[in-house]
Structure 1
């Protein structure tokens, strides 16, 4: 069975480490305190504050486990170690769809760092999968749920 890995940038790993620290040192004690206060209200069978706090604790513990798993198997990608013209995780790629004039620019990041509205797309997205490993000047066919289209890679930056 293949080893799990979570490709991410060094910045993405730092953000996850900061989130984990905040979840464990700030959020967890807050939720535990809310549970203690809610318990003091008496009958737990009709105590909505207690139920809400327990639900929040469950979600919090799930996220802590998820972040710990991602950090355990983090694969920090060094975009500088790849050919300067090759599309890779951590690099910013500019391409133009064939037949269009407006170029599009995205930074390819690990899935947890993805933020398409701010120009960061997941390495698991159809666009990134098609572009990864390709080089500046190449024409690439991209298949997405919305259809298939061709793009020309204009630029790749680390």
Structure 2
């Protein structure tokens, strides 16, 4: 399996979720299944089937997180020298050449991406267009809404 890029913060978020699932969610579901079994006939027991479905989802998520963490390539840009080059984990401020609109994005792994908080996936069109470029470069990015020309005005390794 290939390496899965992740920021240190993203890895910690996954570890926290995994801990929550194993120590709180899983025992609660097991308790629900035991309680539902006591109600008798399992064929027509909606509570039992709902609890088993929750258990299946929980176990699947645990496996998913464990797989991602075992193949994680944790990249901490705060420990790197800022060369002005856009790489995974950097915070980039861009200026839309057409609209003069400034936007700041942090390039993160897929699990951390949250556009409302300006966290974009390394696999997004904007991130793919910016990675490898440097401070003061003008870049043409192909987005789902069309072509956008931006200038990189700040690159932070924070």
Aligned match of 1:69 in 67, 70, 75? 67
Report deviation, 1:131.
0.5
Are 1:7 and 1:110, in contact at CA under 8 Å, matched by a contact in 2? yes
Alignment gaps of 5+ in structure 1: none
Equivalent-residue separation in structure 2 for 1:96 and 1:153 (angstroms): 6
How many residues are aligned here?
156
Normalising by structure 1, what TM-score? 0.94
Query: 2:143: which partner in 1?
Result: 144
Return the offset for 1:82. Answer: 5.6
Q: Does the alignment pair 1:91 with 2:90?
A: yes
8 Å contact kept, 1:106–1:120 = yes
Quick check: 1:40 aligned with 2:38?
A: yes
Q: Is the 8 A contact 1:12 1:113 kept in 2?
A: yes
Q: CA deviation at 1:18?
A: 1.2
- TM-score, normalisation: structure 2: 0.94
CA–CA separation in structure 1 for the residues paired with 2:9 and 2:147? 32
Calculate the aligned-residue CA RMSD, in Å: 1.2
Structure 1 residue ranges (4+ consecutive) displaced by more than 3 angstroms after TM superposition = none
